[in-house]
Amino acid sequence: MSCQDTRELFSAWVDGEATPAERAGVEEHLRACADCRRELDRFRRTVALLSAVEPARAPAGFAERVLARAGPAPRPRLLERVFLPLGAKLPLHAAAIVMVGVLIASVVRETPELSRAVPGGAPRAAAPGGARPVERATSGVGRVLPEATHAPTRPRAARAASAPPEPARRAEPAAPAAPRAGDFMAKGAAAPAASRSMTGESTAAVLPGLLTVRDRAYARRALAELVARLGGAELSEHSDEEAVVVEVVLPAAAYAEFVRGLGRIGTWTAAREPGGAPVRVRVTLKSSG
């Protein structure tokens, strides 16, 4: 087999798509030809580079917009059914309205560290008796491990192999009025209206927290993988130069593992423990540097 014939087969050979006869011919030629081995190395590196390209993500609200155009508005929505028992909806709707107000007040009052982390955040009230409420708040939610520095790489083949319909990993609401990313405490309890339609009003009491990380881009990917792995879903994402705010919903049983996972991504500080199921968490990702 000539050099040209061999190189013509590189693509099929690298992909395992060459016939046995072609494969044997390529391998025999490569054993004897240093030029073709060098050429093959460059070819392989090109293919590896392509495979390393980050997957694209549809814009937030894409699925909602498709569904709105496709026909009658689907109600109840997927996440509502997955995460919320029908009978629990109405009383929890009412409770959520109360909890929104309570959460804003209590979170700012009880977590001075979080308040300080927000530029222009609400002034913190002194805890009676010099107690440090934040220590109570964080003691149950895991501690910090050093961040990893490399993003996990997902093989392309694995992505393609997951083609059959998957459980709802991600459902974005129609773009809500974006809060400033840094305002995570001040707006911690307010759920975007579109998110409510996806998940049920009962979960409107958002648990806000601060995830301090070294590499925001890495942390963002790791968070997405964590949420997907635990059977949760991302509801919204907003970002600016200061922070990325991601709101997620999780099955209650997965919350402890979620907190452990956050601890592996960065330093997680939450305002309090979740009260019921499902759990809705607003994660503010901030760089530590």
Partner 1 sequence: MDADPPEFLRRLRAGEVRAFEELVIAHQHRVFGVALRMLGGAAEAEEVAQEVFLRAHRALAGFRGEAKLSTWLYGIAARLCLNRLASGGRRMVCDGEEMLARIPSGEADPATSLERSELSTALHQAIAELPDDRRVIVVLRDLEGLSYAEIARALELEPGTVRSRLHRARMDLKDKLERFFS
Binding residues for partner 1, rule: CB under 8 A, are: 7-8, 10-12, 15, 17, 41-43, 45-47, 49-59, 62-63, 65-67, 69-72, 74, 77-78, 81, 149-151, 153, 155-161, 163-171, 215, 217-218
Is the CB of 15 or the CB of 241 nearer to partner 1?
Answer: 15
Is the CB of 93 or the CB of 169 nearer to partner 1?
Answer: 169
Is the CB of 47 or the CB of 131 nearer to partner 1?
Answer: 47
Min. distance of Cβ 239 from partner 1 in angstroms? 16
| H or E element at residue 122 | none
Min. distance of Cβ 58 from partner 1 in angstroms? 4
Q: Three-state DSSP class for 264?
A: helix
Give the residue from 227, 271, 12 showing the smallest Cα distance to 138: 271
Q: Could you give the CA distance from residue 213 to residue 287 in angstroms, rounded to a whole number?
A: 5
Give the residue from 155, 192, 152 showing the smallest Cα distance to 171: 192
Is the CB of 10 or the CB of 83 nearer to partner 1?
Answer: 10
Q: Could you give the CA distance from residue 155 to residue 27 in angstroms, rounded to a whole number?
A: 25
Q: Mutual orientation of helices 255-265 and 216-229 as an angle, nearest 10°? A: 160
CA distances from 16 to 13, 52, 199 (A): 5, 19, 45
Is the CB of 21 or the CB of 53 nearer to partner 1?
Answer: 53
Min. distance of Cβ 180 from partner 1 in angstroms? 22
Min. distance of Cβ 14 from partner 1 in angstroms? 9
Min. distance of Cβ 32 from partner 1 in angstroms? 22
